[in-house]
Structure 1
Amino acid sequence: MRRPPRGTRKRDVPLTEAGIYAAALRLIDADGVEALTMRKLATELDANPMSLYHHVPNKEAVLRGVTRMVGAQFRTVTLEEAPWPERIRLLATDFRTLAHRHPELLAYSFSHQPDFIQPDDPFWTALTAVVAAAGVSQPEVTEIAALMVAVVVGVLSAELNGSLQQWASLKAPGPDAGEVGPTDADPGPGEAGQEGPDQDRMFRLVMDTLITGLESRLTAGRDGQDVGRR
């Protein structure tokens, strides 16, 4: 018997929000957010396009649901006995791993969904707990955590869209900036940027800088210096 076309066959499994989000994520990972349409999603699910609207009102709602689903996959740090800098690094590294696992979705979320992190998200819950454990005063825990998220998200956005690699390949101006032609320390166009910067090392550098800054602030506070709100 000839197989009916996709989208016209009777589904053996009823549509659910979770199933819709999972199918949408497969399409986004394969082709990107812009290529996702409700019709393509219905085809992926072997469903009538109109039946999707009984579960989700529009594409934006689908994207929000997919983002929430992916965010719930974040692995909560359980190293309560480890020093707080180690826990911060692990949190950030796990978040980066998740972003690179679903780069199309996370790049979209970073730039189009300012509320993609919610108070009950595993990442935010773990981060605020670690910041508090570091010794940050309770009124400032949320502010410090928010700034850390902003920095990490900014770096990850630049990684995912290629900006970080381009910026890191720029030459820094120096005493020989006016000279024409390559030198031994200045490879020519055919050599420069073939492998690009080590983004893993750069991400570790970002985290070292964040942690060192917070450590300095906490130390200044213990020494009685004015590090409160200005």
Structure 2
Amino acid sequence: MEKKVRRPPRGTRKRDVPLSEAGIYAAALRLIDADGVEALTMRKLATELDANPMSLYYHVPNKEAVMRGVTTMVGAQFRTVAPEDAPWQERMRLLAADLRALAHRHPELMAYSFSRQPDFIQPDDPFWTALTAAVEAAGVPQSEVPENAALMVAVVIGFLTAELNGSLRRWSTLEPSGSEDQHGGGDADLDSADVTSAGPDQDHMFRLMVNTLITGLESRLTGGRDGRDAGL
């Protein structure tokens, strides 16, 4: 009778591939995508990598460092398809759409980054580089490019955060004040207004938001360099 070989438990087997920062970040991203940021621990990460938990600390000091590394890794993967000779409006639409696609590809990570990592966008990030180039192409003076680009990022990220956590969908179902009297639903629980149907067309709302941003920038440029000339 053939003797059954007993497999060592995960985390104690010898690894065929040495640990590396890139491998740690890739494994952490898999766990985050599956279970969320809060569920990620150094011990679970070591188990995923079939490594001793203490060996991780030779490469990353703590979970916060892991999160920063994962965010940097994902951010570096951002690639816009907007050609440099395209109109600046189209470039901005494509940039916003690419950022949204990335957020939906890794919703748990991106929601965390949006709310907990104010420095997740760096000056040399592909997204920021392309955005500032588009803003400058719109005719914004170079000294005002960072301010305008930051405003656009803040609005887009605000939309994406609300979309990822469900707030946007819920807000879109709330009735205007006083409408319950017209519908005879004054005693209805607000929670019942959550989304039991298909809900709002969030793709349409995203396009509307981006177009509003572009129109606002066009208006500011037309009205003068000082926003007060446009009634701001």
- The answer to whether the superposition gives a TM-score over 0.5 is yes
1:210 aligns with 2:213: yes
1:21 to 9, 25, 32: 25
TM-score (norm 1): 0.90
Deviation at 1:86, TM superposition (A): 0.6
* Alpha-carbon distance in structure 2 between the residues aligned to 1:60 and 1:191: 34
The residue number in structure 1 matching 2:200 is 197
1:72 to 70, 76, 88: 76
Question: Partner of 2:86: helix, strand, or coil?
Answer: coil
* Alpha-carbon distance in structure 2 between the residues aligned to 1:155 and 1:3: 49
The 5-angstrom pairing of residues 68-217 of structure 1 reads 68-173=72-177, 177-181=180-184, 193-217=196-220
Residues 77 and 126, structure 1, Cα contact 8 Å, conserved in 2: no
Question: Partner of 2:31: helix, strand, or coil?
Answer: helix
Deviation at 1:225, TM superposition (A): 8.9
Residues 25 and 66, structure 1, Cα contact 8 Å, conserved in 2: yes
* Alpha-carbon distance in structure 2 between the residues aligned to 1:88 and 1:112: 25
Evaluate the alpha carbon distance shift between residue 6 and residue 91 of structure 1 in structure 2; reply closer, same or farther with a 3 A threshold: same
Deviation at 1:178, TM superposition (A): 2.3
Residues 169 and 193, structure 1, Cα contact 8 Å, conserved in 2: no
The 5-angstrom pairing of residues 20-59 of structure 1 reads 20-59=24-63
The residue number in structure 1 matching 2:189 is none
* Alpha-carbon distance in structure 2 between the residues aligned to 1:198 and 1:152: 17
Deviation at 1:177, TM superposition (A): 4.6
Deviation at 1:218, TM superposition (A): 1.2
Deviation at 1:90, TM superposition (A): 0.2
* Alpha-carbon distance in structure 1 between the residues aligned to 2:26 and 2:77: 12
* Alpha-carbon distance in structure 1 between the residues aligned to 2:224 and 2:98: 30
Which amino acid counterpart does residue 57 of structure 1 have in structure 2? P
Q: Deviations over 1:159-203 (max 9, x none)?
A: 0000000001111236x5523537xxxxxx699751111110000
Q: CA RMSD in A?
A: 2.2
Question: Partner of 1:19: helix, strand, or coil?
Answer: helix
Q: Structure 1: which 5+ residue stretches go unaligned?
A: 183-188
Which amino acid counterpart does residue 198 of structure 1 have in structure 2? D
Evaluate the alpha carbon distance shift between residue 152 and residue 226 of structure 1 in structure 2; reply closer, same or farther with a 3 A threshold: closer
Deviation at 1:4, TM superposition (A): 1.3
Question: Partner of 1:166: helix, strand, or coil?
Answer: helix
Query: Across the two proteins, how many residue pairs are aligned to each other?
Result: 221
The residue number in structure 2 matching 1:11 is 15
Question: Partner of 1:207: helix, strand, or coil?
Answer: helix
Q: Structure 2: which 5+ residue stretches go unaligned?
A: 186-191
Deviation at 1:25, TM superposition (A): 0.1
The residue number in structure 2 matching 1:62 is 66
Runs (4 or more) in structure 1 with deviation over 2 Å come to 176-182, 189-193, 224-228
Evaluate the alpha carbon distance shift between residue 190 and residue 153 of structure 1 in structure 2; reply closer, same or farther with a 3 A threshold: closer
The residue number in structure 2 matching 1:220 is 223
The residue number in structure 2 matching 1:185 is none
The residue number in structure 1 matching 2:188 is none
